[in-house]
Structures are given as C-alpha cells and as structure tokens.
C-alpha cells in the first residue's frame, strides 16, 4: 500500500531529474510567466487590460482590448469616425471636447447656452437655444410676434407678473436667457425662492399635453423653479423644485391644458441671483413613456435633477433579477449620457413603492447594470456604477407590483 501511494505521488509531482532535484514543469504554454518561443510577452496572468494580452501578444491600439491607463477606447481597428479615435486616445462622440467627423464644434460641456449646442452644432438664431451674450431668446421658428422675434430678440422685458408671454407648440424648443439680478424679490415658491429676485414668464400651451421646464444657472447662479396655474400672483402652485446648486439645472414635468395660462418663475436659492437659461418643450405624449426616453446629459461634478410621475406612464419595461417585481407596472425612462468616465450615482426619491434599474446598450433590451429595490416603499432608491464617456445609459423609474406615483431623480457624476 505504501508503494502505491509513493507511485501516485510521483505521477503528480514536478519532474524528477537524474540528480534527484525537483524542477518545475517545462511545458511551454502562454500564461506560465516565461517568455517561450513564439510569444511576444508573458506576464503570467489572464487580465486583458494590461501590456500583455491573453494570447501572449503585446497590447496595441486596434487589438480590441482597452489598455488601462494608456488607451481610452479600442474598437479593434485604427479608423476615425466610428466611436473610437484611430490612435485609441479618446472615445469619439458629441461632448468629448474633440472635433470628430460630422461635428461643427465640440466644447466638451452640456450647455446649450454657449457657441456649441446639442448635436455639436454651432449656435445660430433659429436653432431653439438662446446663446448667452448673443441672443435674448430662441424659439426655433420664423414667427415674429410670439415673444421672440426672428432676430432672437425678446418682446418687452417684464420683471413682474404676468411676465413675458410665450406661446408653446409641440415640437418647438423654446429657450430664453435672462438675469434675475435685474429684478426684485416679489415672489417665492413653496420649495425655495425666498430672498432672491425672480423673473416670471407666462406659458401658453397650444394643445393638451406635457410640458418640460428646465431652468439652468449660469456663472455661479443657484436656481429655483416653480410654476403656477391661471393667476401669476395667486394661482395654485403646480410644481416647485430647488434641489441642486450653482450652475446646475432644475427640471419640472407638468401636464398642461391647451389655451390655459401657466406661469414659470426663474428664481434663486436663498438670495442667489444671476444669469440663467429657461428651456421649454411641449409634447403630446408623456416624455419618457417609451424608449429611448428623456435625454439628460450629465457633466462631471454636477447634479442633474428631474421630476416626474410614473402614474402617467405605461407598463413598457421591467427589470430582471431582484428588480423583476416591476413587471406590469407603469414606468418612465431617461436616456443618460455622461460626458466623462467615472462613477454615476442615481438617486430616486419616490412617493410610492419604487424600483429603479439601469441598462446599457439598447434601451429596450440592453444589459442591466444596476438595480435598487431593497429599501421599504417610499424610501430613497440609489445605485452607483462605472460609466464611460458619451455612452448612453437607460435609467428606469419603475414601481413594485403596480405601485406608481411622483418622484424626483438626481444624477451625479464623480470623475
């Protein structure tokens, strides 16, 4: 029996040589840490993100593997214009700060109030985005008597109620720029605006539908946004948000009636005042009800905030694994594009028993990369996950087993 054990041990032991010394195996194989014949390198590991690939060839731009710390991307070729630069130094796409193919400009930020706007197009009167210091307004149309002229000049400036009247039509993006420092502190919302001057606007939707109102602070201004219906001074408040900080945006989603007056107030947080852009989008259908969802660009170290209500959505999507309880429950989706690599934190503050999940790739069938449903109903849902610059991520505000309601979603990108 002892002899059998000894023989078995010898079969599994390193090679024995004539002098009785034990030596390691001499088999030449990629991954053994030795540079064998036919190998360019061998680092003894199976990690694809370093200088030596799993097939023992040296990492190089165009091999389809991202060399961490050296390459920003690698799509398997050395061509420009396909999402990754020919030298693998940067991911191509609007917002990367590089002038790529088919772009007129790229300033690397998310602002539509400067010389380069959405889609990396050069700003011009009539594009629907008001350029600070150049235009007073831009409603994207050729109607001269609608609050914004064909030369992108505002109508008579008004710092008190009812404010400048702005007719709104579906499909037209209306943008106004202003400076609340020129006004006085006469109004405040339930969530903020006390001690800060404000500028009101009368919004006149042409159809029953959904209105997205976005107020963005510029040059250090910390904005607060609220809306009233019917009467500028005493009308019922239909929305209020003051959750972000300087140079960031506040966004409200509101169901509106055609022919009815609504009043939006560009206000500030606790005494803050300054320049801003006010953006208005009217649509017939609920924004975010179907893929690809409401587009949100998130720059580094900035908070993007949006409010919504899943009660108005449809049951179009569901999560997987622990988020599968969202099946047959109404949801809204946001197409989130970070402008830099980093960690994106999404925080959902719901009034109902919520579920939040995130997909990358296809909005309708992409891989789920994050999910939150553990906490009790009505409590915060939060996920953090690694993101790549200019990659689109679909963030779903959903509910558990039929639960739906109002919510606020905040997105923060840590570089």
Domain endpoint, select from 235, 258, 284: 284
Alpha-carbon Rg for the chain, nearest whole angstrom, is 28
| Within a domain: 223 | yes
Residues 129, 277 within the same domain: yes
| Alpha-carbon gap, residue 213 to 278, rounded angstroms | 7
- Tens of pLDDT, residue by residue over 46-82, are 888 899 999 999 999 999 998 988 988 888 999 887 7
Strands 223-229 and 237-241, bridge-based pairing:
antiparallel
Q: Which domain, by its residues, includes 212?
A: 124-284
Q: Tell me the three state secondary structure of residue 345.
A: strand
> Which pLDDT score, from 0 to 100, does residue 27 have?
64
Task: Check residue 6 and give its pLDDT.
Answer: 37
- Which residues have a Cβ under 8 Å from the Cβ of 306 and sit 6 or more positions away? 251, 253, 294, 296, 334, 408, 409
Range of lowest pLDDT (256-260, 323-327, 391-395): 323-327
Q: How far apart are CA 177 and CA 161, in angstroms?
A: 18
pLDDT at 20 over 70: no
What pLDDT does residue 245 have? Answer: 82
Q: How confident is the model at residue 5 (pLDDT cuts 50, 70, 90)?
A: very low
Cβ–Cβ under 8 Å, residues 408 and 305: yes
What was the pLDDT predicted at 265?
A: 98
pLDDT bucket at 375, cuts 50 / 70 / 90: low
Cis peptide before 315 (omega within 30 of 0): no
| pTM, entire model | 0.69
Look at the chain and count its residues: 415
The answer to the question of residue 391 being in a domain is yes
Residue 362 maps to a domain: yes
- pLDDT tens digit string along 246-281? 888 898 989 999 999 999 999 999 999 999 999 999
Domain boundary among 265, 284, 303: 284
Give the chain's domain count: 3
Q: Which two tokens stand for residue 7?
A: 């023989």
List Cβ neighbours of 412 (8 Å cut-off, separation of 6 or more).
298, 302, 303, 304, 344, 345, 347
Whole-number Å distance between alpha carbons of 29 and 39:
9
pLDDT of residue 242: 92
Residue whose structure tokens are 């610059």: 389
Q: What are the residues whose beta carbons fall under 8 Å from the beta carbon of 184, sequence distance 6 or more?
A: 159, 160, 197
Are 189 and 246 in a shared domain? yes
Could you tell me what percentage of the chain is helix, strand and coil, using 3-state DSSP and rounding each to the nearest 5?
Answer: 5, 35, 60
For residue 72, what pLDDT is reported? 82
Same domain? For 259 and 368 the reply is no
Contact 371, 325 (CB under 8 A): no
Please check the confidence at residue 23 and state whether its pLDDT lies above 80: no
Q: Is the pLDDT of residue 123 over 60?
A: yes
Question: What is the average per-residue pLDDT within 93-114?
Answer: 83
* Residue 83 placed within a domain: no
Q: What is the pLDDT of residues 160-201, one digit of tens each?
A: 999 999 999 998 999 999 999 999 999 999 999 999 999 999
Strand-by-strand arrangement of the 223-229 sheet: 164-168, 199-205, 262-268, 223-229, 237-241
Q: Are 163 and 173 found together in one domain?
A: yes
Same domain, 191 and 321: no
User: Tens digit of pLDDT for each residue in 399-408?
Assistant: 998 999 999 9
Given a cut of 90, whether residue 360 has pLDDT beyond it is yes
In 3D space, the residue among 94, 88, 54, 53 whose CA is nearest the CA of residue 70 turns out to be: 88
User: Is the domain of 336 the same as that of 355?
Assistant: yes
Question: What is the rounded CA–CA span in Å between residue 296 and residue 73?
Answer: 23
Per-residue confidence (pLDDT) for residue 81, from 0 to 100: 76
């Amino acid at each position: 029996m002892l002899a059998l054990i000894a023989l078995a041990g010898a079969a599994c032991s390193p090679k024995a040589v004539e002098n009785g010394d034990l030596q390691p195996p001499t088999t030449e194989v990629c991954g053994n840490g030795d540079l064998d014949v036919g190998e360019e390198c061998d680092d003894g590991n199976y990690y694809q993100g370093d200088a030596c690939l799993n097939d023992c060839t040296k990492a190089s731009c165009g091999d389809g593997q991202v060399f961490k710390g050296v390459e920003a991307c690698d799509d398997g070729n050395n061509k420009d214009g396909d999402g990754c630069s020919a030298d693998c130094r940067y991911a191509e796409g609007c917002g990367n700060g590089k002038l790529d193919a088919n772009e007129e400009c790229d300033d690397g930020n998310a602002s539509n109030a400067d010389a380069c706007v959405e889609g990396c197009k050069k700003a011009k009167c009539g594009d629907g985005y008001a350029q600070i210091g150049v235009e007073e307004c831009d409603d994207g149309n050729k109607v001269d008597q609608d609050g914004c002229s064909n030369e992108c000049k505002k109508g008579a400036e008004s710092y008190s109620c009812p404010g400048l009247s702005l007719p709104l039509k579906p499909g037209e993006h209306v943008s106004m720029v202003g400076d609340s420092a020129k006004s006085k502190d006469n109004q405040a919302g339930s969530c903020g605006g006390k001690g800060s001057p404000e500028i009101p606007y009368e919004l006149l939707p042409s159809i029953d539908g959904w209105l997205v109102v976005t107020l963005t602070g510029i040059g250090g201004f910390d904005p607060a946004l609220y809306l009233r219906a019917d009467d500028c001074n005493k009308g019922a408040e239909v929305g209020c948000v003051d959750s972000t900080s300087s140079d960031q945006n506040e966004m409200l989603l509101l169901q509106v009636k055609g022919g009815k007056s609504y009043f939006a107030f560009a206000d500030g947080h606790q005494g803050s005042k300054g320049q801003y852009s006010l953006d208005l989008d009217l649509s017939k259908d609920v924004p975010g009800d179907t893929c690809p969802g409401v587009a949100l660009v998130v720059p580094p170290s900035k908070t993007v905030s949006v409010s919504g209500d899943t009660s108005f959505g449809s049951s179009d999507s569901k999560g997987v694994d622990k988020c599968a309880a969202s099946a047959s429950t109404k949801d809204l989706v946001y197409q989130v594009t970070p402008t830099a690599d980093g960690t994106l934190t999404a925080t959902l503050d719901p009034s109902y028993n919520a579920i939040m999940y995130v997909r990358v790739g296809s909005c309708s069938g992409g891989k789920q990369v994050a999910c939150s449903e553990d906490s009790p109903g009505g409590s915060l849902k939060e996920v953090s996950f690694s993101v790549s610059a200019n990659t689109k991520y679909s963030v779903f505000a959903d509910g558990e087993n039929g639960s739906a309601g109002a919510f606020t979603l905040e997105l923060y990108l840590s570089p």
